[in-house]
Amino acid sequence: MAVAADARRDVFEDSLNENNGYEIDYEAETSAFTNECKEFMNKFVSKIFSGSEITQEEKAQFGVICQHSPARRWFARYINMQRGENKCVDEITFFRLVQYFATVLFECHQADDFPPAKTLMNMCFTFCHVFRAGKTVERKEFLQVYLRDQPIWRALRFWNAAFLDSVHSENHSPTLPRSDWNNLSENDKHDKKEHHKNSIFGQLGTFANNMKAFGLPKSTCQEFIQKMSVIGELDKEQIALLQKTFEDS
């Protein structure tokens, strides 16, 4: 077991070549390297939330391996695991999250790697810190306030991919075969269609509010809503309600 661990570590460390010690070897995408990314991110995220010291070497390694999709994926997963216990964090943890989210989101944008970015987008509205001015004045701020300018939010293809993935994840029940669908009563067909439409409508509402919070242009938001409303077969009243979200933008 020790030999196997050493072998994985060698692959991980060999991916940092001699150019300043931290240039990536893109041919190191092996299962061993992926495992090292997982282990590294597990420890790194734990340090973020525990307040433990993060060394300069660890920060440099983080920046390098985030150029790889497995590292971005595991960072997002371990961050997501923390939300049950650590939604309201201290100031040091809060700004650590801002810093490392920015690094991963930048790499996601460069690589068109949308699943981890979608997770981090949701986490931007999850983790917060309560800033205090004096004994009585409190101001709660979420990560979103400090990550509004990330370029990935300006890419409509990110929102399209993230929304379709969200719809797919929400729809846990398998698609009915055509023969089974044809055997349903008209009332059952109508109920299933309405349930699907309402699910799409609710998720689009959440995405619309997120886009507005990130300060996206009104035209971009409306284009997204119109396109996804057509795909979701929403009715005119639902589309109008969604478009109202951006009236004051």
Q: And the tokens for 202?
A: 């609710």
Q: Cβ(143)–Cβ(128) under 8 Å? A: yes
The whole-chain average pLDDT of the chain stands at 84
Over residues 40-99, the pLDDT tens digits come to 999 999 999 999 999 999 999 999 999 999 999 999 999 999 998 889 999 999 999 999
More confident of the two residues 180 and 230: 230
Q: How far is CA 178 from CA 175, 182, 183, 197, in A?
A: 9, 6, 9, 19
CB proximity list for 4: less than 8 A, separation 6 or greater: none
Residue 153 burial (C-beta neighbours within 10 Å; 0-12, 13-18, 19+): buried
Residue of 81, 127, 79 lying closest to 103 (CA atoms): 79
Distance CA 76, CA 119 (A): 6
Predicted confidence band of residue 2 (pLDDT cuts 50, 70, 90): very low
Q: In the chain, which ranges are E strands?
A: 128-133, 137-142
Q: Cβ(228)–Cβ(156) under 8 Å? A: no
Percentage of residues in the chain with pLDDT exceeding 70? 78
Which residue is it, tokens 């734990």? 46
Q: And the tokens for 83?
A: 């939300």
Over residues 196-215, the pLDDT tens digits come to 788 889 999 999 999 999 99
pLDDT average, residue stretch 219-241: 89
More confident of the two residues 218 and 97: 97
Predicted confidence band of residue 245 (pLDDT cuts 50, 70, 90): confident
Report pLDDT for 190: 58
Report pLDDT for 182: 58
Q: And the tokens for 204?
A: 């689009």
pTM of the full structure = 0.80
DSSP 113-176: -HHHHHHHHHHHTT-EEEEEETTTEEEEEEGGGGSTT-GGGG-HHHHHHHHHHHHHHH--SPPP
Report pLDDT for 11: 47
pLDDT of 29 above 60 = no
Over residues 131-188, the pLDDT tens digits come to 887 777 788 999 999 999 999 999 999 999 999 998 887 765 555 556 654 566 666 6
pLDDT of 4 above 70 = no
Report pLDDT for 20: 47
Q: How far is CA 81 from CA 36, 43, 71, 89, in A?
A: 19, 13, 15, 14
Report pLDDT for 1: 46
